[in-house]
Structure 1
Amino acid sequence: MNKKKLAALLLGGVAMSAILPQNNTVNAAERLQTVVMTDGEVDDMDSFLRFLLYINDVDVRGIIYSSSMWHYKGDGKGTEFESNMKWVKEYHPGKHTDLRWCGTDWIKEYIEKYRSVYPKLVQHDKNYPTADKLQSLVKVGNIEFEGEMAKDTEGSLWIEKLLLEDSTEPIHFETWGGSNTFARALKSIEDKYKGTAEWQHIYDHVGKKAILYNIMDQDETYKKYIAINWPNIKVAFNKEQFASLAYIWNKVAPASQQPYFGGKWMKENILQGPIGGSYMTYGDGHKLAGDPQDVFGDMEKAKEIGFAKYDLISEGDSPSYLYLVNNGLRSAEDFSYGGWSGRLSPSAVADNVWEDNLASFDYNPELGKKDRFYSQTRWIKDLQNDFAARVAWTLKDYKEANHAPEVKIQEGLDLKVKQGQKITLHALGKDPDGDKISYKWYQYEEAGSYGAKVSLTAKESSVSFTVPQNISSGETIHIICEVTDSGEPPITRYARVILQAE
């Protein structure tokens, strides 16, 4: 959606006694499965360019065009459609035969740019898939109208196939637009199996396998079909927090973080080469065919709304996959842990749903209060420097580029502790490029259930503290070890230690 709409929507000794089974290496090789579903707005395209540089960190199973309340193709027959969604009624009232549709070529075009830098990327990580592999995963889903899920499409059938695979390994479905193609796949499964002897098994299997990450509700298919008929599916619902990386970032990001979205920094660090050079920013002269509301490339328009040349426009969809990057924050284990995708908390009204509700607010030291956006904006510097390093990978050989440090915690990542117990944690960091490493320790207070501060004494690679006497059995304390290398740009990785009171 555009900035105006989004603004209207949003502003207003050592505890070793019981170490749980856990890989102590933070940057372990496990890659989570994911499927992208996109409606093809300017921020989708910029999110996709970043995604291509992190595609080595996930096991991508599909890249699917879908529609949304903001973008749809139409059926080519002149059929008119009128939305039931409040925001569309306000900004695009009446009936439309199509709406701001940018076509079904842009993904493949970007993958061809990826092909041109693949020989560089694969030097840095052999897990980068080939361009041919990625092209084979691009499918067209339900794109004719907002929320259309009446018929099977190439994209919905692909999702159906993935959900019915025998493996129970979860697949994370990223909803950058509407959830209608995903909903159609579920409806097809229901139509085929409900009422049969296989139905309960199929229903349970899909519920265990599918994890849906919604950036807003961009059509009615989640509310009217998925939530009602598939309440066993785990859902992350990011209604507002994503704005930290979206069109109103200049109003919600802390002052200390804003320079990393500013034009000077973006020009110097991101807008380079086939991938970074395709990234769209304010006042860069771009204009998307098919979307008359894409005026962001016009410098005069940018000035009118308070942005400078090359400032970030939006990456509002990136939170749907940044939590999948295994940076040591362990945010894929539980949405409430928090990380590069922000932090979500369990819904008070629906099971299996995590939301950016009041419990997801983090304390913002720059404002001196809890902030609905800070669980996302606190990571901007780190995620942007990391992005800059990935852009450099597209241009440089391995020996010329910077790579992420690694960190282990000697005592493990999951510890059982007792009231009053004295704890010392030791971090073991190393850097593949031989760079110096700095250590920083802190408590992520909001992520733990103890709910109060713990006094830490940090000495470089170790930290000591005493477990509070008033902690209750089962309550948790989250301690983060942050390691940053001295390379250019500096890259940060983490180790999250979760202590649970016996």
Structure 2
Amino acid sequence: MKKAYLLILIFCSTLLIYANDKHRVIILADMGNEPDEVQQITHMMTCSNEMDIEGLIAVTGKYLRPESKEEYRRVNHPELFIEILDAYAKDLPNLRKHASGWPNPEELRKVVCSGQKGYGIADVGEGKSSKGSKLIIDVVTKDDPRPVWIVVNAGSNTLAQALYDYKKEHSKTELQAFIDKLRVFENGAQDNAGAWICSNYPKIHWIRSNYQTYAYGGPGGTDGDITTNLGPHYWKPYAYSVTGQNEWLIKNVMTDHGALGKVYPERRYHGFRDGGLGFMEGGGTIPWMGLVNKGLFDINHPNWGGWGGRFSANKMPDFWSRHVDIKVDEEKETPFYTYREVSDHWVDLQDGKVYNNNYAPIWRWREAMYNDQICRMDWCVKPFKEANHHPVAAVNGDDSNSIIRISALAGETITFDASSSSDPDGDELIFKWWVYEEVGTYSGKIMISEPQQSKTKIVVPTGAGGKQIHLILEVKDNNAIASLFDYRRVVIDVENIFVKQESVQVD
């Protein structure tokens, strides 16, 4: 039964471009700088069925560079990628029992290489091409329309070299087409090349994270304090400390969890407090984590939020590196523009604590992310019946991974039905509908009827014409191992037309 009135735009979902595709990703990481890089990449391999990994490039950064006082940290270490891939290959037969889409380890080994050997922009220029810079060009220029998500988990001078080389050999139009395919997430601004790139290639899509990037396990609070501000406590029953996090990892990741569990190290390094431990996974997990949930996170809209954090809708000037020496260099490139972190308001329902800060866009998903890690590590060793698997969130019969976008009229009542959502293990499903207020452009309150039922209605406010509303469906399974989540984002574009009506419903 459909109800509609004159001038009403009938409810219809339009999938956003690329929403159903896997995202292409290149990782630049200072492998060997400290153990968190190995933690991050090992974790990523348990999620690798959700993305197309097209480059694993060992690079330099602030701490791993030829000038380091420690010999091991003077050179790149691509062999650490290979060790992780060897472990992944051993666990792959069991991983395939739980999900499809896993990459071939032999193909992944082919995209492992080193980038620039020197530090920063000083190692960029004529005759300084590296295997890593060439790989970036090869990936971006493939006959593939999808953008390339480039994670910079160290210095960005290898990407700078790729841009330098491509510009030298191509027209302005070709260069812009190359830049248009890049989606860069820079973790911590760990050399002076990022600001140089953004200054010299001002149209580049560049996210800079100085805070949220550390929020998977931290951030640790004030500089040097890694024990007192670790964010919401979702590694219980272990203590609220980095030692407690490490004990959680020993149980759920490192012990009896296959070859990947064996290569996953403690983040134990001199200079850290609490017995030499640092908070888990450092700053390099969040930059790729958003790619896991395509029904929630959109790489073209950094302000929409998701497991990869939330950033400004427009690029902002001169978001400096937190490293004083790098900031001095960046001041020579001013103005440069990047997407920068923004804050969320979030209430942690486990203890009622309220967060209003720029870590909350990550912390609000922490329970789901940690449970995801628990269950994916189980996939390395357990049979299907002894593991938990993700529910499938469906909206009005659409059970794809896509973000849904619809048009609506001010004053409408719109019905949404998630009753066709499912769970591969037959688990009970728990539903939650909520409006992501910080993302939408309508500042008033929006009524949701029965937000914890599979079916709900929202009333589009009469004053919302020309605005955008983001409705999130969160589906959680009830499983004793650890509850897993799936999401669907519904983007509602409200037309500048008001028609009084009872409701709009689509079966």
- TM-score, with length taken from structure 1: 0.81
SS across alignment from 1:115: helix
Cα separation, 1, equivalents of 2:303 and 2:11: 23
RMSD: 2.8
SS across alignment from 2:316: coil
Structure 1 counterpart of 2:316 = 348
* Closer/same/farther in 2, CA of residues 61 and 465 from structure 1, 3 Å limit: same
- Which of 148, 156, 159 is matched with 2:133 structurally? 156
- Which of 228, 239, 245 is matched with 1:262 structurally? 245
- Which of 40, 48, 55 is matched with 1:62 structurally? 55
Cα separation, 2, equivalents of 1:447 and 1:32: 22
Structure 1 counterpart of 2:205 = 234
* Closer/same/farther in 2, CA of residues 329 and 432 from structure 1, 3 Å limit: same
Q: 1:469: how far off?
A: 2.0
Cα separation, 1, equivalents of 2:301 and 2:383: 36
Residues 1:121 and 2:103 aligned together? no
Cα separation, 1, equivalents of 2:293 and 2:97: 19
Amino acid at match of 1:431: D
The count of corresponding residues between Structure 1 and Structure 2 is: 441
Residues 1:36 and 2:27 aligned together? yes
Q: 1:174: how far off?
A: 0.6
Q: 1:499: how far off?
A: 1.3
Residues 1:215 and 2:197 aligned together? no
Cα separation, 2, equivalents of 1:267 and 1:399: 23
Cα separation, 2, equivalents of 1:278 and 1:453: 48
Cα separation, 1, equivalents of 2:166 and 2:75: 29
Amino acid at match of 2:195: K
Cα separation, 2, equivalents of 1:206 and 1:294: 41
Amino acid at match of 2:434: Y
Structure 1 counterpart of 2:396 = 410
Q: 1:264: how far off?
A: 4.3
Cα distance per residue 1:255-295 (max 9 Å; x no partner): 4445387344333322232212332335xxx6xxxxxx546
Given that 2:30 and 2:59 are in contact with CA atoms closer than 8 Å, whether structure 1 keeps it comes out as: yes
Structure 1 counterpart of 2:462 = 469
* Closer/same/farther in 2, CA of residues 235 and 163 from structure 1, 3 Å limit: same
What 5-or-longer segments of structure 1 have no aligned partner?
A: 1-12, 75-80, 82-91, 194-198, 287-292
- Larger displacement relative to structure 2 (404-413 or 113-122): 404-413
Given that 2:42 and 2:260 are in contact with CA atoms closer than 8 Å, whether structure 1 keeps it comes out as: yes
Equivalent residues in 2 for 1:124-203 (5 A)? 124-147=98-121, 148-150=123-125, 151-193=128-170, 199-203=171-175
Cα distance per residue 1:375-406 (max 9 Å; x no partner): 01111110110111110110112333211111
Structure 2 counterpart of 1:382 = 368
Q: Percent identity?
A: 23
Structure 2 counterpart of 1:396 = 382
Cα distance per residue 1:458-481 (max 9 Å; x no partner): 2520122211122231x1111111
- TM-score, with length taken from structure 2: 0.80
SS across alignment from 1:60: strand
Structure 2 counterpart of 1:87 = none
Q: 1:448: how far off?
A: 0.9
Structure 1 counterpart of 2:429 = 437
SS across alignment from 1:126: coil
Cα distance per residue 1:201-251 (max 9 Å; x no partner): 311211221111101211111212x11222222111112121212553454
Given that 1:98 and 1:145 are in contact with CA atoms closer than 8 Å, whether structure 2 keeps it comes out as: no
Amino acid at match of 2:194: Y
**Greater helix share, 1 or 2?**
1
Given that 2:393 and 2:488 are in contact with CA atoms closer than 8 Å, whether structure 1 keeps it comes out as: yes
Cα separation, 2, equivalents of 1:138 and 1:362: 37
Cα distance per residue 1:34-92 (max 9 Å; x no partner): 100111232221111111111111111110011011112x2xxxxxx5xxxxxxxxxx8
Residues 1:276 and 2:261 aligned together? yes
* Closer/same/farther in 2, CA of residues 447 and 251 from structure 1, 3 Å limit: farther
Cα separation, 2, equivalents of 1:278 and 1:443: 40
Cα separation, 2, equivalents of 1:97 and 1:389: 38
What 5-or-longer segments of structure 2 have no aligned partner?
A: 221-226, 239-243, 318-334, 399-403, 496-507
* Closer/same/farther in 2, CA of residues 351 and 229 from structure 1, 3 Å limit: closer
